[in-house]
């Protein structure tokens, strides 16, 4: 399907791996010029080089930055001032109950994900508002819907980002901008494999049986990064031009299951 995105530009944070990299790949295939932002310059350039070979006719740039730092966010906005699509994706919040996640860990996670999203949104929304066009896609997480005491820092952070997305997206069409969100459930990333291997080692005494630990998930597996990225690309396109303030949950129905795994 032609999403009619050719010639546009996008900034994708957390773009060196996982969901962020898949989003960049999908957008580049649709003819979007992309800039990948993450902390590791080496990893970014490796993935950008591979992407340039696959997606000809588009520009692929990289920018290494720690988006937990407000000054770094300012540098990103100054270096890449004009983008049509901002995809906020950088950051992961650790699991644990309120007595297990100490304040430094909680603050560090929120500085990157919660305040990182807010800071870049503030910077790019201002630019988009002046041009009266643009799309901001926040990749948040289903933990903001299925509130879990054992993931309390993530539940609170994601719920806040959901509120941000809905509040901004309800007003942003007044100045030609759309703000939308995606809530992935479990996704087959390197991080999930590590967790699966630990669980398999405990349950079966064999870490290589990690895929079996996902058998109780919807469809017997986690989502793929491509399944998340395809939705992001669609939301960013004009085919969704009347969609704002909406958050799409992609978890195979897990949030609404009567018995959760």
Q: What is the pLDDT at residue 152?
A: 95
- Cβ-contact 187, 18 below 8 angstroms: yes
> Taking all residues of the chain, what is their mean pLDDT, rounded to a whole number?
94
Q: Which helix (H) or strand (E) holds 28?
A: helix 18-29
Count of beta carbons in the 10 Å neighbourhood of residue 174: 9
Active site residue 151: yes
Answer whether residue 77 shows pLDDT above 90: yes
> Which strand ranges, in their side-by-side order, compose the sheet holding 247-250?
60-64, 33-38, 9-13, 85-88, 134-139, 177-184, 247-250
Q: What is the pLDDT at residue 198?
A: 83
Kindly indicate the confidence band of residue 259, based on its pLDDT and cuts at 50, 70 and 90.
low
Answer whether residue 261 shows pLDDT above 60: no
Contacts of 128 (CB under 8 A, 6+ apart): 134, 136, 175, 176, 177
Kindly indicate the confidence band of residue 260, based on its pLDDT and cuts at 50, 70 and 90.
low
Residues 21-42, mean pLDDT to the nearest whole number: 97
Kindly indicate the confidence band of residue 176, based on its pLDDT and cuts at 50, 70 and 90.
very high
Kindly indicate the confidence band of residue 218, based on its pLDDT and cuts at 50, 70 and 90.
very high
Classify domain 9-187+223-248 by CATH number. Answer: 3.40.50.720
Q: What is the pLDDT at residue 2?
A: 86
Kindly indicate the confidence band of residue 250, based on its pLDDT and cuts at 50, 70 and 90.
very high
Residues 227-256, mean pLDDT to the nearest whole number: 96
Rounded distance between C-alpha atoms, residue 208 and residue 197, angstroms: 7
Q: What is the pLDDT at residue 65?
A: 97
Out of 117, 124, 149, 151, which one is annotated catalytic? 151
Answer whether residue 1 shows pLDDT above 80: no
Answer whether residue 195 shows pLDDT above 90: no
| Domain map (residue ranges) of the chain | 9-187+223-248
Q: What is the pLDDT at residue 246?
A: 98
Q: Residue 254, Cα to own-chain centre: how many angstroms?
A: 19
pTM: 0.93
Rounded distance between C-alpha atoms, residue 89 and residue 92, angstroms: 9
Give the tens place of pLDDT for each residue, 113-162.
999 999 999 999 999 999 999 999 999 999 999 889 999 999 999 999 99
Count of beta carbons in the 10 Å neighbourhood of residue 162: 18
Answer whether residue 258 shows pLDDT above 80: no
- Cβ-contact 80, 61 below 8 angstroms: yes
Rounded distance between C-alpha atoms, residue 208 and residue 212, angstroms: 9
Answer whether residue 234 shows pLDDT above 70: yes
Q: For the chain, percent helix, then strand, then coil, each to nearest 5?
A: 50, 15, 30
- Cβ-contact 152, 101 below 8 angstroms: yes
Strand-pair category, 134-139 with 177-184: parallel
Nearest-5° Cα angle at 195, 221 to 45: 90
């Amino acid at each position: 399907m032609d999403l009619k995105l050719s010639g546009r530009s996008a900034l994708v944070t957390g773009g060196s791996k996982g969901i962020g990299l898949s989003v960049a790949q999908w957008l580049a295939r649709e003819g979007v010029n992309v800039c990948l932002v993450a902390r590791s310059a080496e990893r970014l350039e490796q993935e950008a080089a591979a992407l340039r070979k696959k997606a000809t006719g588009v520009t692929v740039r990289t920018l290494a930055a720690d988006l937990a730092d407000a000054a770094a966010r300012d540098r990103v906005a100054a270096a890449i001032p004009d983008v049509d699509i901002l995809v906020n994706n950088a950051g992961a919040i650790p699991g644990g109950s309120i007595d297990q996640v100490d304040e430094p860990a909680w603050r560090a996670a929120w500085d990157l994900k919660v305040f990182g999203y807010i800071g870049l949104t503030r910077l790019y929304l201002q630019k988009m508002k002046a041009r009266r066009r643009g799309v901001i896609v926040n990749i948040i997480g289903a933990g903001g819907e299925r509130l879990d005491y054992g993931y309390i820092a993530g539940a609170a952070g994601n719920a806040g980002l959901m509120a941000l997305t809905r509040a901004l997206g309800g007003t942003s069409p007044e100045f030609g901008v759309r703000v939308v969100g995606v809530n992935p459930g479990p996704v087959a990333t390197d991080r999930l494999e590590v967790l699966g291997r630990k669980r398999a080692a405990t349950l079966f005494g064999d870490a290589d049986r990690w895929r079996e630990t996902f058998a109780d998930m919807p469809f017997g597996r986690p989502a793929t990064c491509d399944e998340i990225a395809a939705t992001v690309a669609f939301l960013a396109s004009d085919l969704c031009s009347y969609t704002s303030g909406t958050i799409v949950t992609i978890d195979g129905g897990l949030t609404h299951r009567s018995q959760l795994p």
